[in-house]
Amino acid sequence: MLLVDLKPRIDDPQVQQVRALSMFPATAESVQRVMDRIRKNKERMLWGIENGESVLAIVEYYIREDEVIYIAGIAVSEQCRGQGIGRFMINTLQSKYNMAIELETDDDAIGFYRKCGFETSPFDKNNIRRYKCVLPVIKTNPRTSPPSSANDPLPQ
């Protein structure tokens, strides 16, 4: 699997359809507002997993000023759920940037984020239970971490 930049395909109905899976309510207007926000803001990233021309999953995120990755939306197509794609995207982002990840979710998805290692805190938003989810940065010990490439020797 490989995360690819889907921002060039932002007008593709497949991209919009998968992005809509993480939205409630996912009306044509709300999806268009999200796509406009991504299109107009160069800090907003839209990455995903493809199989040929098919879009299997999407993650929309940006890096906040406090150097935390904020996931604004993450979705995996219904036929690809349960295959580790969502976890792969989260792990790839954290590995790439070496930053904590934060997001907000609901009762339907909280179990997934807990399984991925997120610390969760419930709160009310407009009389609806939501969760703040934080995946802390994994601090590695240079003596026990694997080398970053085949040319790097293990520390002595």
User: What confidence tens digit (pLDDT) does each residue in 54-82 have?
Assistant: 999 999 999 999 999 999 999 999 999 99
In a domain, 151, yes or no: no
Q: Are 6 and 48 in contact (CB under 8 A)?
A: yes
Number of domains composing the chain:
1
Query: Which domain CATH number covers 41?
Result: 3.40.630.30
**pTM recorded for the entire structure:** 0.86
Cα torsion through 99, 101, 102, 107, rounded to 10:
-160
| Domain interval for residue 103 | 4-135
Percent of the chain with pLDDT over 70: 88
In a domain, 95, yes or no: yes
Q: For residues 77 and 10, give the distance between their C-alpha atoms in angstroms, rounded to a whole number.
A: 16
Q: Any alpha helices (H) in 13-142, and if so which ranges?
A: 13-20, 28-40, 85-97, 110-115
